């Protein structure tokens, strides 16, 4: 199961970090965007058999507390119904994912008795 969050801008601004766009138009074309436009953070998890989400965060920034709240109140209850299937819960190294409370919760949930090792 792969999980990730993305930030969307209602103004149409596209985050081009690590994005390659191939096309016939001039790649150096300039587009003006409104600075500090509102954003919406969205979470989604994808497995070989199910898509969990989208989940829209109410907070303007995803932090460890809001991420843990989403895991405990949104994703984990859905996963309980699917626990008969084996899966690997994969997430990147974003700061909310590696916060102590988040790693402790995930470890207690799927690896009871295993100590959390902080890097």
pTM: 0.74
- What does the domain layout of the chain look like in residue ranges? 2-7+40-110
Strand order in the sheet with 40-46: 2-8, 40-46, 51-56
Looking at residue 60, its pLDDT comes to: 86
Looking at residue 113, its pLDDT comes to: 59
* DSSP secondary structure letter of residue 98: G
First to last CA, the chain: 23
Looking at residue 119, its pLDDT comes to: 46
* DSSP secondary structure letter of residue 25: S
* DSSP secondary structure letter of residue 14: -
Cα torsion 1, 51, 7, 66: sign = negative
Looking at residue 89, its pLDDT comes to: 80
β-strand pairing of 2-8 with 51-56: unpaired
**pLDDT tens for the chain, residues 1 to 119:** 888 888 887 777 766 665 666 677 766 766 666 677 788 899 999 988 889 999 999 988 899 999 999 999 999 888 888 765 667 788 888 999 999 999 888 888 777 655 555 54
């Amino acid at each position: 199961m792969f999980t990730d969050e993305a930030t969307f801008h209602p103004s149409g601004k596209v985050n081009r970090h690590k994005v390659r766009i191939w096309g016939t138009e001039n790649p150096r074309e300039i587009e003006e965007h409104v600075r500090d436009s509102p954003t919406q953070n969205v979470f989604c998890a994808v497995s070989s058999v199910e898509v969990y989400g989208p989940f829209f965060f109410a907070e303007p920034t995803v932090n460890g507390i809001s991420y843990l709240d989403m895991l405990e109140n949104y994703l984990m209850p859905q996963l309980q119904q699917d626990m008969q299937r084996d899966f690997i819960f994969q997430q990147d190294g974003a700061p909310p994912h590696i916060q102590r409370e988040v790693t402790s919760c995930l470890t207690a949930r799927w690896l009871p008795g295993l100590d959390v090792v902080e890097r």
